[in-house]
Amino acid sequence: MLSQRSAGRTRRHYLGYLALAFIIAPTVLAFAALTGFARQGPDWALLGDPYLLGVLGFSLKQAALSALLSVLLALPVARALYYVPQLWGQRLFLSFCLLCFVLPTLVLITGLVALLGRSGWLTPLLGEDWNLYGLHGILLAHVFLNMPFAVRALLQQLHSIPDTSWRLAAQLKLSGWQRWRYVEWPVLQGHLPLLSGFIFVLCFNSFAVVLALGGGPQATTLEVAIYQALKYDFNIGEALLLAWVQFAIAGGLFLLMVRLGAVQWLSIDTASGYYRPRPMGWRRAVHGLVYGLSVLLLALPLLALLPGLFKLEASIWQRMQLLAPLLTTLTLGLACAVLGLVFAYCLLLPLRYARWQQQLRRQWLLEWLATHALVAPAMVLSVGLYILVLLTLPGKADELSWSVSLVLLLNVVVIIPFALQQVRPRLLQFDDQYERLCGVLKLSLWQRLRVEWPWWRHSAISAFCLLLVLAMGDVTVFSIFGTQDWMTLPWLIYSYAGTYRMAEASLTAVVLLLLCALIVFLFERGRRA
């Protein structure tokens, strides 16, 4: 009996470890291919090069500032949403926050340039010396992408304040400051370093934004420097060194965060919170003002895209063939999302078991390995695998089937961390409540799936939509593995813009934006249903 039970568990484990091997393989192969091809390891001598130290310094500085600003600005907005839930359009705003986080960077950059570029709408108000490019631009884009994310995460935390605390606060007649200090701060405090850390890692690895808005060599991050070393100088030693430095810093920080716990920002509402202070008078007005301002500021870069559309002639629709790339993008996104979800489930099997057995170290290790793609330099991954394919399978890289499979595979690897983050909390909750029972009933994997499904269905659906949007926005992987035989929407934007066809490029950007918005909207409905 006992052996039968452990056999089922072992089979489940195999599945999990198989998935894990599948996720780690691309990274290992990529590094191995680069090292093997160049017949040299990282060029350690570069560690003393002042230019590279400058690059490292700038990467850290912009990531720290981005994280700090995002969190500091998100705090008042989250509080406004918490205290005045009747604020107009609040639900829509929260959906919009999610859209901001997953927005294809190409769309955001176009919007920011239309708004704040040299002849942007707002530029005349900013004085003579204003220049979007450089640290300003990078921070603006990073705050736009991450502040809304922080709002959602902080709001989630505030919602977890128990009613009893508020009752007590009311009885003790705590002042505004005391309420912040003794009621809000304790729930936020543990969460803030985690949240800032997560945003820090995302910004530290930022690529497209820095490339587009950095404005030259004075604003280069490690990821961009890797790109330059690999792609143009073909200096693999330098690229490997930079990749290891980035991997070590981001990975170390991430490991630390895994130990601290996960950022929860999309998990199911646990709050009952019907009893909370209802600010009146000027306090309420301040909350309303903060909310209104944030809506305005976040909407502006996207609204700035619209006037460009009115300049287009009606005939443009006939000239452009959008349908095929649109369907390709959707199909690719759907395939990535399905695979990402399946992988996330499999990866969680051994991890959940380790947690159940209270093998903490193993749990952290598994968690880190499963999410390592978040910190592995995407450029190194893509280029390394590309070299591997060219060396070992001559000619295959140009074949449509290989190109599609590789784009799909790498996108799945890249989005898995987000899938895990989505479905993990709910499945862990399941374990806490039913694992013992499942163990006693000796459910097979299939039976288990059927029992679990209703429990995590909502998080699965929402994870699915999130993965879909993330995969649909990919350009990094496609830029390496795509061929001219097929086309995705983001890549179409590049190609149009690359050949003087700006009107077509902006129209495609808007189509992509609308598609993403639609999916995010469905996602939010799926979550609430």
Tokens of 4: 């039968």
Task: Decide whether 131 or 359 has the Cβ nearer to another protein.
Answer: 131
Q: Which residues of 10-33 are buried (b: 16+ CB within 10 A; e: fewer)?
A: eebeebbeebbebbbebbebbbeb
How many helices, marked H, and strands, marked E, lie in the chain?
Answer: 23, 0
Does position 512 bind another protein by CB under 8 A? Answer: no
d(CA 367, CA 361): 10
Does position 328 bind another protein by CB under 8 A? Answer: no
d(CA 265, CA 445): 29
Selected from 8, 36, 197, 215, the binder of another protein by CB under 8 A is 215
- CB 334 → another protein: shortest distance, Å? 22
Best CA proximity match to 508, nearest among 494, 527, 498, 525: 494
Question: In the range 344-373, which residues lie near another protein by CB under 8 A?
Answer: none
Task: Decide whether 163 or 485 has the Cβ nearer to another protein.
Answer: 485
Those residues with Cβ within 8 angstroms of residue 228's Cβ, 6 or more apart along the chain or in another chain: 220
- CB 55 → another protein: shortest distance, Å? 10
Task: Decide whether 178 or 392 has the Cβ nearer to another protein.
Answer: 392
Q: How many CB atoms lie within 10 A of CB 43?
A: 18
Best CA proximity match to 279, nearest among 86, 77, 71: 86
Question: In the range 286-305, which residues lie near another protein by CB under 8 A?
Answer: none
Does position 319 bind another protein by CB under 8 A? Answer: yes
The CA-atom distances, in angstroms, between 420 and each of 94, 112, 198, 257 are: 21, 31, 15, 15
Does position 323 bind another protein by CB under 8 A? Answer: yes
Residues 492-511: x/- map of binding to another protein (CB under 8 A)?
--xx-xxxxxx--x------
Does position 127 bind another protein by CB under 8 A? Answer: no
- How far does the chain reach from its first CA to its final CA, in angstroms? 41
Does position 394 bind another protein by CB under 8 A? Answer: yes
Residue ranges of alpha helices (H) inside 39-134 are 50-83, 90-102, 105-116
- Residue given tokens 């000027």 in the structure block: 282
Task: Decide whether 228 or 267 has the Cβ nearer to another protein.
Answer: 228
- CB 509 → another protein: shortest distance, Å? 12
Tokens of 310: 């009115």
Question: In the range 102-121, which residues lie near another protein by CB under 8 A?
Answer: 113-114, 117-119
- CB 336 → another protein: shortest distance, Å? 22
Question: In the range 194-213, which residues lie near another protein by CB under 8 A?
Answer: 211-213
Question: In the range 44-63, which residues lie near another protein by CB under 8 A?
Answer: 51, 54
Query: How many residues of this chain bind another protein (CB under 8 A)?
Result: 48
Residues 442-461: x/- map of binding to another protein (CB under 8 A)?
--------------------
Tokens of 341: 């979800």
Task: Decide whether 39 or 361 has the Cβ nearer to another protein.
Answer: 39
Does position 35 bind another protein by CB under 8 A? Answer: no
Tokens of 289: 């003002």
- Residue given tokens 């705590």 in the structure block: 174
- Residue given tokens 């930022």 in the structure block: 206
d(CA 411, CA 424): 20
- CB 101 → another protein: shortest distance, Å? 24
- CB 1 → another protein: shortest distance, Å? 57
Selected from 133, 144, 265, 464, the binder of another protein by CB under 8 A is 133
The residue count for the chain: 529
Chain residues binding another protein by CB under 8 A are: 37, 51, 54, 113-114, 117-119, 131-134, 211-218, 228, 231-234, 318-319, 321, 323-324, 387, 390-391, 394-395, 398, 479, 483-484, 494-495, 497-502, 505
